[in-house]
Structure 1
């Protein structure tokens, strides 16, 4: 089955979110946020933590500063967040079910992948170190874009770097923030919910897990 607009029977590339999608690192971020609150005498809640899922890090720093009621700047808060999660991920990378298998399958058939994450490069590096070289042909991190998710810039940047139209790419996301970014860029979005529910959308399809999933079938079913 082909897309009548593009003539494609499968996506030309897969653009991957990281936190909550490839790796279940959201608990690392949340634990670190509570540590920051304790360190600086602030208050925090699980509900506030979930509001940050998928967000640009600097925006998260501003949110934390305001709602935690602490003195450090947003920039300092981001660095403290990164210190905490990098230390944790260096000890253990919690891969989501089916994620590594799917990356291997895409590599085997020559489908290019891009990583599109609002995490910064120093957090991404220890995760990439556990994957074969060139798993991702393009890496877009939150510290290299002007506007983070939910703005479309991160996904537009990834597609352009691959030399592709966003409409020919499948994005994989786990949050409303990320899905809005990819959808606004023009991608079809495969949503695999994790810590937060995701709203339905015109260019969003849902799956319970990546395990055993055929992305070509997902693509074809949407364009049928």
Structure 2
């Protein structure tokens, strides 16, 4: 999905002052990257499993992290003794998380400030998530006005991460070569997806639970977005170009 976006005079001026080597666009995974929603997902998984007479395990969020919605439902079903219609599970889990996100968006630390920096520099942003459309659309519309020019979601009919298709689609939305784009991700499958598209990938570790290992292809790991500048993004892109 794309949104209308207008480059203002102040943004045009910022582009003239920007350092060389900046990404043509920045692509953000959503859960655990753009927003700290993993706690909401874990709570939803526990709620639904126990609602249907199952026993929740701490391994559920670890297994479900970064997975597509169909795969998430399969994992949750394993912890419920009787079969539950997938549409019912989907509705219960997604409804729970959306309600929490509407109450409190839970933006990742420094994310909104970085989005503002990118907007002022005229660099487009796209959300690339495996989550359902209703969830991604909700967060895109809660973001600062003009922050995102569009999004890719789990209901777009594309192969799921770690396939590069979601990030290739994001590049199509902005009309950019993925090689010249930057990806923020927080899961192994997401990092693989972004790297396979040809983009430069940075791993966000601030919300990563123990047991999740990042073994590539990111150029660096960062906890959050606090203090990130355009110079930092240019440095990320330079690191990426050295590895390609």
TM-score (norm 2): 0.83
Alignment of 1:1-224 (within 5 A): 9-193=21-205, 194-196=207-209, 197-213=212-228, 214-223=232-241
Size of the aligned set, in residue pairs, is 217
Which runs of 5 or more residues in structure 2 are unaligned? 1-19
CA 1:140–1:122: 2 relative to 1, 3 Å: same
Cα pair 1:15 1:113 within 8 Å, conserved: yes
Tell me the C-alpha RMSD between the 2 structures: 1.7
Separation of aligned partners in 1, 2:105 and 2:58: 22
How many Å separate the matches in 2 of 1:145 and 1:211?
34
Check whether the contact 1:65–1:73 (CA below 8 A) recurs between aligned residues: no
Moved more, 37-46 or 65-74: 65-74
Q: Distance between the aligned counterparts of 1:150 and 1:88, measured in 2?
A: 27
Deviations 1:62-110, CA, capped at 9 Å, x for gaps: 1211244442133332221101001111111111111000100000000
Structure 2 Cα separation of the partners of residues 80 and 221 of structure 1: 43
Give the gaps of 5 or more residues in structure 1. 1-7
CA shift, 1:222, in A, is 3.7
Secondary structure of 2:167's match?
helix
Are the structure 2 counterparts of residues 73 and 147 from structure 1 closer, same or farther at C-alpha, using a change threshold of 3 Å? farther
SS of residue paired to 2:131:
coil
Could you state the TM-score of these two structures normalised by the residue count of structure 1?
0.90
Residue aligned with 1:14, SS: strand
